[in-house]
Amino acid sequence: MPAVALRAHADAGESARGHDSLVATTEQQAGAVRTKEFHFPVDVDWVGGRRVAARVEGKRSIEVMPPPEFKGTDPATWSPEDFFVAAAASCLAVTFTGLAERAGLSFAGLSVRGDGVAGRRDDGAFGFTRLMLTVDLEVAPGTEGQARELALKAEETCLVSESLDLPVELTIDIRPATA
C-alpha cells in the first residue's frame, strides 16, 4: 500500500467559506500524468443523531446511517456497508450489460446478489475480508458459454472490484430463457 501524504489545500471556493482543508494524496500519484481521469464528487451532510445524507449534484439525496450490527437504529436505512457491497454488485451488473451489448448477446434476465463479509483482517484491522457475488443470467440456449465469458470479464474489468484490496468470489448461474 503506497504511503499517504496530507497537504493543506485551499482554493477559491474553500477560501470563500473561510476554511482550509487537508487533501490526501499518495506519493505515487502526486506527480503522475494520467491519460484518463474521472471524478465522482459526493457531499455528505449530517442530518441528526447518527444519520447523514449523501448527495451528488443533480441526483436525489440518500440518507445513510450505521447498520444494526454497529448500533444503528433504523434497519430500513442504507448503511455505508450496504453501499460498499451494492457498489461492487451493481458495477458488475452494469459492466456485464455493456459487454453484452457490445458483443451482441441478448439476455432475458440478470441479477447479481452480493454478500460482503467483515471481520478481523490479516493486518489486524477490522474491515471487509471478502466479497461474494453471484450472477444469475437467463440467456438463449446455445449462448451460455458466451454469457459466462462476459460475466467473468465483467468481474475482471468492473472499476469497483478492480479498486478493492480483498478477494472477490464470483459464482455464475446460467439458465435457459423460457419463451
Domain residue spans in the chain? 1-35, 38-78, 80-176
What is the pLDDT averaged over residues 127-152? 97
Q: What is the dihedral of CA 42, 95, 85, 129, to 10 degrees?
A: -110
Provide the 3-class DSSP secondary structure of residue 146. Answer: helix
- Does 91 have pLDDT greater than 80? yes
- Does 53 have pLDDT greater than 50? yes
The CA-based angle 88-94-95, given to 5 degrees, is 85
Residue 20: the pLDDT is 52
Q: Which residues contact 64 (CB under 8 A, 6 or more apart)?
A: 44, 51, 52, 53, 54, 77, 78, 79, 80, 83
Q: What are the CA-CA distances from residue 107 to residues 25, 112, 114, 137, 179 (Å)?
A: 42, 14, 20, 7, 12
The strand order across the sheet containing 126-139 reads 107-120, 126-139, 168-176
Provide the 3-class DSSP secondary structure of residue 160. Answer: helix
Residue 109: the pLDDT is 97
Average pLDDT, the chain: 87
Long-range contacts of 115-119 (CB under 8 A, 24+ apart): 115/85, 116/81, 116/84, 116/85, 116/88, 118/81
In CATH, the architecture of 80-176 is 2-Layer Sandwich (3.30)
The CA-based angle 136-139-140, given to 5 degrees, is 160
Residue 35: the pLDDT is 83
Top pLDDT among 12 and 121 is at 121
DSSP category for residue 165: S
Q: How do residues 103-131 score in pLDDT, each as one tens digit?
A: 999 999 999 999 999 999 999 999 999 99
Residue 178: the pLDDT is 84
**pTM for the structure as a whole:** 0.80
